[in-house]
Structure 1
Amino acid sequence: MSARALIVASTLVAPVAYLALPATAQAQAPKAAPTNIRGSVVSFANNTVKVKTREGKTVDVTLAEGGRIAGVARAAVTDIKPGDFVGIASLAKADGGDGALEVLIFPPAMKGTGEGSYGWDLKPNSSMTNATVADAVKGVDGHTVTVSYHGKEKKITIGDGTPVVTLAPASTKDLVAGAIVFIPATKNDKGNFVAQQLVVGTNGVVPPM
């Protein structure tokens, strides 16, 4: 795992991490929580990526000087082991508990990043839980993991077909038209989007977060 990828790992957590953790590689917390931009690359030039967002808008995001880029690599539910640190976006299920929308397995060096459970914007009413796996148990409808954070526990079901990824190296060469990106961006004093880091899909694997 490259240093570049490790730095970008800190972007894969809810905005609260920007306020609480030095792992964001920022000397100070930004004045405003980032806007999570999800979509496909239209073009990349002069350190600015033009993105067609999932909402259908087209926005320009400038990668800040020294900004980092990472990709994602496919993983499997069976890769999740007790003691691993994971980020799981989920939705509450009608029959109780949470069902995973996606799972990120953090590299060991990022354990503790953004620990907690909080609101997330992948889908309406979704949440993000960054926590340590207490146990991973095979269930009837998939895998159910028990995760712990700040003395609390939460059970999340990971159904068949749920995207499970980890981090991978990437570069500006991967910012080609059609590539899928996830970019936590903030607006500068001119109202333009600026990102310290972004995540881009490579080798057929897209950022699910």
Structure 2
Amino acid sequence: MHRIKSLALMGAALTLVAGCSGTGTGNDATANDTAATATASTGRVRGTVQAVTADALTVQTYDGKTVTVPIDAKTGYAWVVPSSLSSLKDGDFIGTATTGPKTALRAVEVVIFPESMRGTGEGHYAWDVPGVVAANGGDSAGSSAMTNGTVDAQSAMTNGTVEPQSAMTNGTVTGGATPGGGASSTDRVLSVSYKGGNVKVAVPAGVPIVRFDPTQKTVLAKGQKVFAVTPPGASAAKSVAIGKDGLTPPM
């Protein structure tokens, strides 16, 4: 049973960091980001389960397409369960999809990782339209990225117009606070460090806050909201995140 749970947790971790194919600087970094964005539509599938068979899921995506997601014995599964910022502790490892330029990131969702997934996918790399945006008919009009790192400080929220782009930030929480000034008293700002960099992420009130809970394939059923990831070149999904009790996986 412990081995099954470990596999499920690892599958959930890989879900969040799939698309990170390496790091680079200058033109290499730009090329990597472009490649990851181009493959996101096929590598990451978000939508509602229409059918489950022994070796595949049929998923209707949020833009109305029907996609077949192959699965096999190595595919990992995790429930996505509701959580809250009040449960977020200093030292927690998190993932957050964001909008805005790197100098003024605003979270659209936050995932709190279990300890066994600490450090997964640390760095900054491309991401596509988060589930919380796609499920509401939204799109990503600009570039996107994912950042995995450690939240190690706090700062005031930056107010203003956000450019149409998105990112994912994962990190360990070592500091968080309610900002002052013109920001809402319910907002929290986290400074997230990763190998080679640091970003500040404002978490507005009302964004989905979730955690992962390992599970098995047997829980899959028609009507569930899922987020499935198939790595480039793989014959089956590496992981499937399943919204608990109708929850939409926001990542």
Per the normalisation by structure 1, the TM-score is: 0.82
Q: How many angstroms does 1:100 deviate by?
A: 0.2
* 2:59 alignment partner AA: V
Q: Secondary structure at the match of 2:75?
A: strand
Residue 24 (structure 1) aligns with: none
Asked whether the equivalents of residues 43 and 230 of structure 2 are also in contact (C-alpha less than 8 Å), the reply is yes
Residue 236 (structure 2) aligns with: 194
Identity %: 32
Residue 9 (structure 2) aligns with: 6
Q: Deviations over 1:80-113 (max 9, x none)?
A: 22211111100116xx611101111111121110
Give ranges in structure 2 of 5+ residues lacking alignment.
24-38, 130-138, 141-164
- Aligned pairs for 1:1-209 (under 5 A) are 2-17=5-20, 35-92=43-100, 97-122=104-129, 123-124=139-140, 125-139=165-179, 140-141=183-184, 142-186=187-231, 194-209=236-251
How has the CA–CA distance of structure 1 residues 115 and 188 changed in structure 2, closer, same or farther, with 3 Å as cutoff?
Answer: closer
How has the CA–CA distance of structure 1 residues 66 and 15 changed in structure 2, closer, same or farther, with 3 Å as cutoff?
Answer: closer
Q: Deviations over 1:122-178 (max 9, x none)?
A: 252211112222310112321111111115321111111111111113333332111
How has the CA–CA distance of structure 1 residues 48 and 14 changed in structure 2, closer, same or farther, with 3 Å as cutoff?
Answer: same
* 2:124 alignment partner AA: S
Asked whether the equivalents of residues 188 and 194 of structure 1 are also in contact (C-alpha less than 8 Å), the reply is no
Query: Aligned equivalents of 1:144 and 1:187: distance in 2?
Result: 34
Give ranges in structure 1 of 5+ residues lacking alignment.
21-31
Asked whether the equivalents of residues 186 and 195 of structure 1 are also in contact (C-alpha less than 8 Å), the reply is yes
Computed over aligned residues only, the root mean square deviation of the Cα atoms, in angstroms, reads 2.6
Q: How many angstroms does 1:62 deviate by?
A: 1.4
Q: How many angstroms does 1:46 deviate by?
A: 2.3
How has the CA–CA distance of structure 1 residues 172 and 100 changed in structure 2, closer, same or farther, with 3 Å as cutoff?
Answer: same
Residue 33 (structure 2) aligns with: none
Q: Secondary structure at the match of 1:102?
A: strand
Query: Aligned equivalents of 1:188 and 1:113: distance in 2?
Result: 21
Q: How many angstroms does 1:51 deviate by?
A: 0.4
Q: How many angstroms does 1:205 deviate by?
A: 2.7
Asked whether the equivalents of residues 116 and 131 of structure 1 are also in contact (C-alpha less than 8 Å), the reply is no
Residue 27 (structure 2) aligns with: none
- Tell me the number of residue pairs that the alignment of Structure 1 and Structure 2 aligns: 194
Structure with more helix by fraction: 2
How has the CA–CA distance of structure 1 residues 68 and 19 changed in structure 2, closer, same or farther, with 3 Å as cutoff?
Answer: farther
* 2:53 alignment partner AA: A
* 1:178 alignment partner AA: G
How has the CA–CA distance of structure 1 residues 106 and 149 changed in structure 2, closer, same or farther, with 3 Å as cutoff?
Answer: same
Asked whether the equivalents of residues 135 and 147 of structure 1 are also in contact (C-alpha less than 8 Å), the reply is no
Query: Aligned equivalents of 2:19 and 2:50: distance in 1?
Result: 30
